[in-house]
């Protein structure tokens, strides 16, 4: 399923937007001018990554400080050791679209 979640120019680099698709809480991120979409909740504990920050192509969880690679969801340091789910994103017709499997 492909859903339009934002206007193409809605987020500046380093900004995030929470989106909900079919009950899933996701985070749309503009990192270095590129859009990414990952699960909103940290894989370590139930804490929103929306309260973290974007550094380059990484997102930092503000609760315990783990960084995740936005391209593949992989954790880059402890304490998180599970990847975030990532979702494909494309820009078309002046909108940002996220693809989910549901």
Nearest CA among 64, 89, 53, 59 for reference residue 74: 59
Task: From 2-10, 11-19, 39-47, 83-91, give the range in contact with ligand FES by CB under 6 A.
Answer: 39-47
* Residue pair 83/70 in contact by the 8 Å Cβ criterion: no
Task: From 10-18, 19-27, 56-64, 89-97, give the range in contact with ligand FES by CB under 6 A.
Answer: 56-64
81 binds ligand FES (CB under 6 A): no
97 binds ligand FES (CB under 6 A): no
- Residues 25, 46, 85, 69: is their CA dihedral positive or negative? positive
58 binds ligand FES (CB under 6 A): no
Binder among 24, 64, 97, 100 for ligand FES (CB under 6 A): 64
Q: How far is the CB of 28 from ligand FES (least distance, A)?
A: 19
86 binds ligand FES (CB under 6 A): no
């Amino acid at each position: 399923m492909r859903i339009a979640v934002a206007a193409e120019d809605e987020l500046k680099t380093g900004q995030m937007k929470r989106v909900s698709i079919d009950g899933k809480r996701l985070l749309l991120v503009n990192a270095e001018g590129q859009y990414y979409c990952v699960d909103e909740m940290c894989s370590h504990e139930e804490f929103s990554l929306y309260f973290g920050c974007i550094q380059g192509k990484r997102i930092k969880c503000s609760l315990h400080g783990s960084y995740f690679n936005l391209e593949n969801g992989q954790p880059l340091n402890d304490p998180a050791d599970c990847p975030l789910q990532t979702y494909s994103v494309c820009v078309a017709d002046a909108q940002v679209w996220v693809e989910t499997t549901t």
